[in-house]
Structure 1
Amino acid sequence: MRIRIKYQDGAGNMTERDISDPCKETDKTIDAFCHMRSERRSFHLDRIMHSVATNTGELLSPYQLVPLMRAPDSIDSLTWQVRPAIKALKFFSLTTRGFSKRERQHLNKFVKELVALPQSDEEISDWVYDLWCADLYQYRDGDEKKYKGLLEYIPPSLLEVCRAYANKIVGGAANKPENSGWGERIDEEFGPHPLF
């Protein structure tokens, strides 16, 4: 079966490519034939933003591309459709207040609000902590394009929830952002019609 994926590489670039014959490589990667490169390549599952069976148009979970890769009730399998929102909110946290216990608690609640998960709070927290979201170094050097590209994959129905949690993350005394620029970022990135 041929599968079309939208993939975010390690530098944050989004590409669309067709793959076939996926095989488990590690717990976090698959090995598949990449038709764009005409060779087998490794793909990180958490960087596959979208996957579709080209012959049927069926939307596929990246974690189910390889049989028995992930249990259907694993965090990865249950969150794949909302993963761009989770990554964007984590990246927002990392680039504003940081990612200490306080901010992680908000992210954990956000994940649990989006998806009913059977895992413990500790397992969810560990998963959120390990989730790769974007290249901080490029962002700090002024390259926002790749992060803003990630925002395009957030379903519009989730923008209001993202906005509410972003406000909680940056909330200081009386839930007002400590930095006025953070409020502007929330409006730009998680508003009803993102301004980028």
Structure 2
Amino acid sequence: MKKAKKGNDKAFIKIFQEYEEVITHHLKLMKWIFMVGQAVKESFIVPNQLKRDSFNFSISFDEFNGNKGNWNLNIPITKIEGESFLVMDEATSKDYKIRMKKVTFTSATTEINFDLTEPINAEELNQIIRFHLYDDKGNMLKEISAGGGGCSDCENIDGKITLDTSVQYEPLKHIPDYLIIEPYISSTSENIDELRMEIPLKESE
């Protein structure tokens, strides 16, 4: 099985794609920063050399939800080497299509990366999908974070768009023989059986 290196698009996203926080409370802090991002007037101090093994990521802001002040956050970031597997599986339902691209294991996360094709008005219809992930022993992994990394094909084709999507789950001590992904409608928790996939990670003997 071939291994793949992580790819990057934008300078800011690049930090979080290549560097994963090893301290749990820092992960929670960064999640909070993204949640309040629209309400904060912030400035980011980003090191010039993003390829260093570790650096401090500094954030300062002077307004939060209309409140004036002076807040400064200094977050140590450490690069964690992982093992990645290229995956070519795909599944299609009436409204959605998933084309798997990569699975990456590190000491901090288990990450799946795929192209998700969905109706352009999925959010308006309350039809956003999420993903349960299981190891080869049937254990469900706890989701840490999820998000679209950008459009693979932003063109509206028959009322659908394709998003480059990554979802991070808790780390695994050992790389399993396979993973099982079970997509479901977030608003109803209804499984989409046509999109369920078993993702092989080790070659058959």
Shared fold (TM-score, shorter chain, > 0.5) = no
The structure where helix makes up a greater share of residues is 1
Q: Under a length normalisation based on structure 1, what TM-score does the superposition of the two structures give?
A: 0.30
The structure where strand makes up a greater share of residues is 2
